[in-house]
Amino acid sequence: MANHALLNNVEHKDVKVITKRSAQYGDNMWYSMTFPQEFRSAQAYYPIFFTKDPGTGKFICAALFGFAEQENLFLNDDGWHARYIPISVLRHPFLIARQTVEVDGQEQEKRMLTIDMDNPRVNSDEGEELFLEFGGNSEYLDRMASIMEALHFGALDGMKFCERLVELNLIEPFTLDVTLNDQSKHQMLGFYTISEEKLNDLDVSVLQELKEKGYLQAIYMQIASQSNINNLLDKKNAQVAATAV
């Protein structure tokens, strides 16, 4: 259970965050959320698909790291082996909370940075400091605040992106049947992709609308990212072969 606290330089002046990538810190995830503005960087390494948020039932964009729960094929004892890590992974142990404040007699919603005090990355002995000696933000904390802002707006745009794809009936189920070199078989369920056939049937005016929103480029990047499935298979085969020795 997360224990999120509003971040401040009094209660959290001695708090540090471990930034090492490791399964013990929760990096053994098999996918994470991504969003259209991140596709250019993410699709260079990860297959991008869609899955349903278990909390809302709505589609989200997901960068895939493995073929099963708690399997991150980019992760080993030496860290995370890809030049780009999605910011929904980098943001831990932080989260944005919404707080209603009164400004000039009117209520406004303000975004506040929180930290999960029960996260294994959070401690007082090692890692990145959050605050400087006299209370100012550290460079690390400022960077994380910027990441959280990017994630906030990226998630909102990702939601609109998925909603438009649903309206256009472009999202279809995707099932992956995998046979490894040792002849073991695996099936990956619960993910979705874009129907290229339905995409090709779209009216020119709809394609123009998608282009103007930046969604057409995101669509093609999502489709192109599927070639990274082969890279995942190579990593999985190498992992299986290493454990068999």
Confidence of residue 1 (pLDDT cuts 50, 70, 90): low
User: pTM, whole model, 2 decimals?
Assistant: 0.90
**Model pLDDT for residues 53-98, shown as the tens digit of each residue:** 988 999 999 999 999 899 999 999 899 999 999 999 999 999 988 7
Tokens of 36: 């259209």
Query: Taking 70 as the threshold, does the pLDDT of residue 113 lie above it?
Result: yes
Domain count, the chain: 1
Structural domain including 154 reads 4-244
Which of 78-92, 108-122, 161-175 is predicted with the least confidence, judged by mean pLDDT?
A: 108-122
Position 99 scores a pLDDT of 72
Query: Taking 80 as the threshold, does the pLDDT of residue 245 lie above it?
Result: no
- d(Cα 31, Cα 49) in Å, to the nearest integer? 10
- d(Cα 201, Cα 29) in Å, to the nearest integer? 36
Q: Does residue 183 sit in helix, strand or coil? A: coil
